[in-house]
Amino acid sequence: MTKIDRLQFIADERQRLEKEGLLVHIRTIESPQGAWITVDGKKVLNLCSNNYLGFANHPLLKKAAQNAIETYGVGPAAVRSIAGTMSLHTELEKKLAHFKRVEAAISFQSGFNSNIATIPALVGKEDLIFSDELNHASIIDGCRLSGAPIIRFEHGNPSSLEQKLKDNYPAGSTRRALIITDGVFSMDGDIAPLPALVELAEKYNAMIMVDDAHGEGVLGEGGRGAVDHFHMHGRVDVEIGTLSKAFGVIGGFVAGKKIIIEHLRQKGRPFLFSSALTPADVAACSAAVDILESSADLVQKLWSNTGYFKKRMEEAGFKTGASATPITPIMLGEAKTAQEFSRRLFEENVFAMAIGFPTVPLDKARIRVMISATHSEQDLDYGIDKFVMVAKQLRVI
């Protein structure tokens, strides 16, 4: 009897991914994040990271982390609900609530954990979730964990959402309903039509939640996010944020109505069952909030760089999709084309990774460029010139 290799399916899947240009090649960073970094032993222009404001290597954040280690040690050694809540955690949460202009906030170990903590705490298998079809994977996983039926509406389309609500959530229903959308969509860089979605939530008496991972530090006054951008304070039940993108560190948070935040302290499973963020991380995040509270210069520089880069790229003939934020997708179509484009850019000292299925739909592969306040115009000019050169080599413009 022939013995079947029970792990052959992994080798087969890898071969398929490689054949279709979907195998992810993970590069290694050997320096702090910045406009130029060392990757696989090579100094390259960084057009990849989520370090929107340059906080990942900011001297004030590093100093805050160092001081926290001296004062509090390297780890909390417990979950938040038993013995892991330090004064640093509560201080950060008060600062985040003030920054977000909400009643309260709670911090988690990541933005992903924030979603899988919050969604199952608000709805269960007897309830309903209405989710934008392009919502982030962490939202999708949080929805699945809740057990609630998931009803997807067309991306960024309030009319589609209303039809779904009419069909599935009649007036007087005893079920709870939760509408969920990203604030900024991470692959296309477009912004959710939040005012229209909030109006529908109010009309149909549904809760509404916004995952603003890519809006924090980017949109709104001083980087307060999509809700602030649209002046919707008090009308959104809960906002999810991350501390690993514009804030430059690690962690996530939930901000919103106090009753929801207190509920998450009792029901949020990552809060109850996973160790708390380290003192160094929390202190660095707190320092990032302080900087944003005191100055909007970095946010303004980010947007200045964004406008400059997009204008020049579009003039060169590149398509940047529906982006309205510093996330700038350079649309290429085929996954193999995008991977070859990325490889050739790296040869020219530009680090910009290809994004393909399943992160984005088939035939919508791209190079996703992430603009930062750390870039100079000279940096951006260098990157644009290399994009044009490679595009001509591959005949994509």
Question: Which residues are known catalytic residues?
Answer: 186, 214, 245
Instruction: Give all strands of the β-sheet with 207-211 in edge-to-edge order.
Output: 104-108, 252-256, 238-242, 207-211, 177-182, 128-132, 150-153
Element (DSSP H or E) covering residue 208: strand 207-211
How far, in Å, CA of 92 to CA of 19, rounded?
47
Instruction: Tell me which amino acid residue 155 is.
Output: H
Residue written as token pair 């010139």: 385
Are 146 and 268 in contact, with CB atoms under 8 Å apart?
no
Burial class from Cβ neighbours inside 10 Å (0-12, 13-18, 19+) for residue 145 reads: middle
Q: Where are the alpha helices (DSSP H) in 128-188?
A: 137-146, 158-168
What is the C-alpha radius of gyration for the chain, rounded to an integer number of angstroms? 22
* Residues in contact with 155: Cβ distance below 8 Å, sequence separation at least 6, in sequence order: 132, 133, 134, 185
Are 305 and 373 in contact, with CB atoms under 8 Å apart?
yes
Residue written as token pair 């939760």: 178
Token duo for residue 12:
């087969």
